[in-house]
Amino acid sequence: MKRLWLWAALALTLTACDSQTSDEAFGKRVRAYLLSHPEVLQEVGQRLDAKLAAEQLSDLRRAEALLPSLRSAVERDPRDFVANPNGKITVTEFYDYRCPHCANAAPKVLSLIHDNPDVRFVFKEMPIFGPTSEHAARAALAVRKDGGDSLGLYEAFMSARPLRDGDIDQMARQKGARPGDLSPAASAAFNAQLADTSGLFYRLSLGGTPAFIVGDKIILGEDMPAVSAAVQKLRAKGA
C-alpha cells in the first residue's frame, strides 16, 4: 500500500493540473518517464525501505519499553510449558508449529535448552496459521496439563511437514495427553489461554513468529545467533 502511494505521488509530480488529460495519456507519460529514469524507481524503493525499517525499529523500541510492565505475563504464566524451570536466564518464544521459520529455529532452540541448563525457556503457543495451528496448540496445552513430554511434542510437531489435523491428537496421546483433554469439551480453558497469549503478542506488536524475548530485548525471526548473544550478555551481567 505504501509503495502504491509513493508511485501515485510521483506520478502527480509529472503532470500539470490539467483536468482534460485522459487516464490513458496520464499512464503513458508516467510509464515513459519511469522507463527512461530507472534510477527514480531505485531511489524511491531505497527511501521506502529505509522508512519501513525506521518504523519497525520504532515499534520495537516501544514494545521493549512495555516489557517491564508485562514481565510476569511474558515469563511467569503458570499455564505455559517451561524447560529448565530453575534456570536464572529466561528466554520466551512465541511460535506456530506450521510456521516455516519456527521450524527452522526449532533444532537450535532445542540445542540452546540442552546445552544451557541455566536458560529457563518459556514456550508461548501463538497459532497464526489457521485452524490446524490452533488444533496443534490446544493439543500441546493438553500435554502440558497432563504432565506429558511437552518438549518431545514440540520437536515432533516442528519436525512434521506437513503437520496434519489427523496426526495431531495421535502424536499428543503418544506424548502423554489424556483423550479427555483432547476433546472439544476441554477446549474452553485452552482457548482462553491462547486468547491471553494472542493479546500479549499483539500488545507487544510482535507481528510474526518466531519472536523471542530475552531480558529487555525482543528478537524477531529465526535469528538464533542474536538470541544466543542476548543470553550471553545477561550471563555476563550475572543475571
pLDDT tens per residue, range 164-213: 999 999 999 999 999 999 998 888 889 999 999 999 999 998 989 999 99
| pLDDT value at residue 119 | 98
Q: Within 13 Å, how many C-alpha atoms sit on residue 96's CB side?
A: 21
Q: Is 94 helix (H, G, I), strand (E, B) or coil?
A: strand
| Residue 134, phi-psi category: left (phi > 0), alpha (psi -120 to 50), beta (remainder) | alpha
| pLDDT value at residue 187 | 87
What average pLDDT does this structure show over 36-54?
Answer: 62
Among 182, 214, 208, 67, residue whose Cα is nearest residue 127: 208
Least confidently predicted of 32-41, 91-100, 173-182: 32-41
| pLDDT value at residue 23 | 66
Is residue 50 scored above 80 in pLDDT? no
Is residue 152 scored above 80 in pLDDT? yes
- Of the two residues 239 and 80, the one the predictor is more confident about is 80
pLDDT band at 56 (very low <50, low <70, confident <90, very high): low
Is residue 15 scored above 50 in pLDDT? no
pTM for the full predicted model: 0.76
Q: Distance of CA 54 to CAs 50, 51, 57, 166, Å?
A: 6, 5, 5, 43
**Distance between CA atoms of residues 50 and 192, nearest Å:** 39
Q: Where in the chain is the domain with CATH 3.40.30.10?
A: 68-236
Q: For residue range 78-89, list pLDDT tens digits in order.
A: 999 999 999 999
What average pLDDT does this structure show over 22-36?
Answer: 70
- The grid cell for 174 is 503418544
Is residue 136 scored above 50 in pLDDT? yes
Is residue 135 scored above 70 in pLDDT? yes
Give the CATH number of domain 68-236. Answer: 3.40.30.10
| pLDDT value at residue 26 | 67
